[in-house]
Structure 1
């Protein structure tokens, strides 16, 4: 029953997004931001806690009112963005590529910034599963959105490498959409059909610490060949065009948040704990923030590996020539990948 209730929550989030869509389009000085779960959204947590968007807005001569909403799954976030319920979407780079392709020549959704580089782990509590080749029909892999989320796409890249492009989605049939917190509970506690989770920090680390059978089956960095800006922010071309002061204030706030985290990891950890109202172990959280594998920066890195794969297997129609085809051509994107 707990699992069934958890599965209903993404539907509730989608309903919330549709209700918000009834609000009129926002003018300069108003910003509605959708985030999801995990340390990957720490830049947004810091920006909200320190009121950095408002600060940069005032410096530009505009008072910005910021509304925050938490959703789960790239498909839910994309629906909210296209319905006009939000202005800035926070999700994986794979959902960005999907909605960018879907809105080509119309709303022209593009990336705004990266939220940093974080390794994502596919964790299983099934001792016999050592590689993805060991998953069977009775196993269930939880991830935010089947076939859409960045975790799903990384799993598809690994599947294509093992079984060929024709079977890139082979493991989709045993994948289940579930928010990260609920998936972590299932993997740590055991006793449900969910025995694997392709998550993000801190949930993957909690699983490894909380269940003696939990182990890493796949690391996203290994799949794409290095650090990956897996989680990004994106918006419509119209929002960027019609709200230049708000847009620039948002970018300035993100950049300041990234520098704040690097300079003050202890304070950043406390902000995360306050913002997420969870029971994440502070020492574990600090270990994640200070990990050499984690970089807090707003320039995207290695995202084209995802874009190239998605076009190759036919899930997006338009082949990006470079990162500039799916991110707005802002200064911090130059040199990105």
Structure 2
């Protein structure tokens, strides 16, 4: 499906960007789940085409699907992807790795959402109850936001120095496959650290229960998904970056003002077993926030730096983003 896509830096970067032609094709990635609702609306409602036309731009978009952030980072570094979309863990990982060269940074938040570790093992009530017999599925071991949050939770609830206590029990698996494995009961997977709507589908089953809530681990709401890219792209394509930010803002407004319509559009675009009422409930959950402005990044930056997962002297998490993430 041909689209127009782009991203936006409306805070003066255009004045220092090199005088290069804007891209005519944007390679954009996203993953599965309602956490990517703003991007779904942008695609289905043609918001990028609308704003690109107003800006006098003519280009197309290639949408790519990934099951985890690490794969997107590899594609971004190899030059096969322009804009990645995923969780905080992969975003901070590639930010730290590229500050001396490509300078990857966050462009905007997609949402803030609580993430649940769900299990069907009745004997597992707390993190301390997990053993080598319990395999935990998550998008990418060690690097996904779920993997990082699990480490943070292990340190918080099992004690200092125990952050990696559950790492050996984790298995990389996309959310749709993890849901099937957990609910099927025929695999070694007895837990899934997922995301909406998969965690909500799992909790509908009386065999399943929640073990961990990411908001409890972090100490409050935090950004779940965001988009990020390389500095040469953002600074070299100010008009296309402005187009995406305009489309993002329109999508956020639509979600917040028309949750019922947003639910219908998402359900038509994505396979789900949830009812329309359940999807609307996910979108309007008071614990969920739809905004381009990130939050709750600080605890992740502090933990990842302290645990040696990234190397950085930066203490202000806002330095991990371009100004696009802070409109107004």
Same-fold call, TM > 0.5? yes
Distance 1:104 1:144 in 2: 25
CA shift at 1:104, angstroms? 1.2
**Which residue of 127, 149, 158 maps to 2:122?**
127
1:333 aligns with 2:300: no
Give the corresponding residue for 1:33: 28
- Superposition deviation, residue 55 in structure 1: 1.3
- Hey, what's the Cα distance between the residues in 1 that align with 2:141 and 2:159? 19
**Deviation string, structure 1 residues 51-76 (Cα, Å, up to 9, x no partner):** 11121111211123121111111110
Q: How does 1:1-337 map to 2 (within 5 A)?
A: 27-209=22-204, 211-330=205-324, 332-333=325-326
**Count of paired positions:** 308
Give 1:32 shift. 1.4
Measure the CA separation in 1 of the matches of 2:146 and 2:50. Answer: 34
Distance in 2, Cα, partners of 1:56 & 1:137 = 52
The root-mean-square deviation of aligned C-alpha atoms, in Å, is: 1.5
Distance 1:311 1:324 in 2: 15
Give the match's secondary structure for 2:216.
helix
Using the size of structure 2 for normalisation, the TM-score is 0.91
Deviations 1:217-265 (A, max 9, x none): 0001111011110211100001001111111111111111011011111
Are the equivalent residues in 2 in contact too, given 1:230–1:303 (CA < 8 A)? no
Distance 1:320 1:274 in 2: 42
Distance change >3 Å, CA 206–CA 321, structure 1 → 2: same
| Alpha carbons 1:81, 1:88 under 8 Å: kept | yes
- Runs of 5+ in structure 2 lacking a partner? 1-20
Q: Distance in 1 between matches of 2:72 and 2:319?
A: 21
- Structure scoring higher RCO (CA < 8 A, sep ≥ 6) equals 2
Look up the SS of the partner of 2:58 in the other structure.
coil
Q: Is the 8 A contact 1:32 1:87 kept in 2?
A: yes
Q: CA deviation at 1:193?
A: 0.5
Contact kept, 8 Å, 1:34 with 1:89, in 2: the verdict is: yes
Name the SS of the counterpart of 2:161 in structure 1: helix
1:91 match: secondary structure: strand
Helix, strand or coil: the match of 2:295? coil
Deviation at 1:83, TM superposition (A): 1.1
The more displaced of 316-325 and 200-209 is 316-325
Give CA deviations for 1:160-213 in whole Å, capped at 9, x if unaligned: 12334433111110000000001111222212100100000000000011x211
- Segments of structure 1 that go 5 or more residues without pairing to the other structure are 1-25
Deviation at 1:304, TM superposition (A): 1.2
Distance in 1, matches of 2:217 and 2:326, equals 23
What TM-score do you get using the length of structure 1 for normalisation?
Answer: 0.88
